[in-house]
Amino acid sequence: MVVRKNISLEETHLKKIEPLNRKHDGNLSAAIRDAIDIAEVALHRYGTIENALSSISSEKKEMTPMEKSIETGKSVLLCSPIFQWMLKWTRGIPLDDEILDEQIDPLQIKTISGLDRRINEISRESGWNCEVSIFCIDDINPENATVTIAGNNELYRDFLAQLVIMFLANNKGMDIDIIHPRATTIRIDLKKRDEGTYPIASRKYFGPLKEAIDEFVSKKEFWKNLIEIYKSVDYNMVSLHKDHYEKILTSSIPLDSGLFESLSKRHILNISHPDFLQMLKKTHESLMVIDRIELLNDGFNIYHSYKNEMAVEKIRDFYLSLLKANGHEYEAKYSTSLIVLKHICCGTK
């Protein structure tokens, strides 16, 4: 039964129930009925109108975990351009394990599904707009897992990938197997690694610049000066081991085996020949001794820019002596800008 009565409302009261009035498309009776229902709930909870008004006005909106973290000083707000700039210029430098554990506490995250929930929570709270999906059969100790991260921002995707993959590497004994990058997603397949081994693939993928940056920071002036020198001459420089340079000063034919023995921690004769050739290519191209080394099935080609024929002959003899020290005989031919070395005998490694 509908009871019709006349009521008087002042303008201030009409403004207070305006949201309810809009909800009902201007139907004031329906708005007042909603207001009565709300009043009934408030009275049931607080007992009196006075207690309801006092309690509701003093209550604060509950803060999100991120808001609490910012209030305590554990987290800080950064504008997106600054954060992306930081991600860009720290790419290749891995987060310290302590920082990873602070972000995703391994004492609290015991399962893969728990990791999935936590990393998506971090992404949403931080405004990174990335979705993370972790698939595996065993939720506690998986043998294999697939991590997929979708989002338009590549820097955010890679940063989240580092958090997830390094957590799995450090706490679940896993390592990267295959990486499948796409335009807006990255999928990483992981597998259980042998007990007692390090997550080499994961550390290599997320931290290729760690050693270089550590060295740069420890000897800033040296590397800054070296870069300035190389840049000023457009990298037309040759770097030599000090012992090698001393032998050149004595006019003897240098062997320069010390560099390879230092890198491999083995005598030159004990370095496998394929490894030695790869090391030879890497070091001599980097040191600018020659322009380029092209490895072939039965030998290799050396491309150079030396003009003096006597110098080219010295270079040829230099490589023949290095190869012989590694236990292998080669024959060599040379031209204006190319030395061709062909393997002819010796060596079993």
Residue 348 confidence (pLDDT) above 70: no
Among 5, 27, 7, residue whose Cα is nearest residue 17: 27
Rounded mean pLDDT, 139-149: 96
Q: What is the pLDDT of residues 217-236, one digit of tens each?
A: 999 999 999 899 889 888 88
What is the distance between the alpha carbons of residues 122 and 125, in angstroms, rounded to a whole number?
5
C-alpha dihedral, 301 to 305 to 310 to 314, nearest 10°: -50
CA dist 18 and 7 (Å) reads 17
H runs (alpha helix) in 47-152: 49-58, 65-72, 80-89, 97-103, 112-126
| CB neighbourhood size of 55 (10 A) | 13
- The full DSSP string for 134-160 is EE-S-SSS-SEEEEEEE-S-HHHHHHH
pLDDT band at 23 (very low <50, low <70, confident <90, very high): confident
Q: Is the pLDDT at 305 greater than 80, yes or no? A: yes
Q: How confident is residue 172, by pLDDT bands cut at 50, 70 and 90?
A: very high
Dihedral sign, Cα of residue 61, residue 66, residue 72, residue 76: negative
Question: For the chain, what is the mean pLDDT?
Answer: 87
Q: What is the pLDDT of residue 131?
A: 95
For residue 16, the model assigns a pLDDT of 79
At residue 14, the pLDDT reads 76
Q: What is the pLDDT of residue 347?
A: 65
Q: What is the mean pLDDT of residues 21-43?
A: 80
**Pairwise CA distance, residues 174 & 16, whole Å:** 59
Kindly report, residue by residue over 95-106, the tens digit of the pLDDT. 999 999 988 999
Domains in the chain: boundaries: 11-58, 77-206, 209-236, 238-345
On the question of pLDDT at 328 being above 90, the answer is: yes
Distance CA 331, CA 341 (A): 6
- Examine the pLDDT at 60 and tell me if it is beyond 60: no
Q: Is the pLDDT of residue 185 over 80?
A: yes
- Cα separation, 16 vs 18, in Å, equals 6
Q: Concatenated DSSP letters for 221-258?
A: HHHHHHHHHHHHTTT------HHHHHHHHTTS-----H
> Thinking of the domain 238-345, which architecture would CATH place it in?
2-Layer Sandwich (3.30)
Q: Does the pLDDT value for residue 6 go beyond 80?
A: no
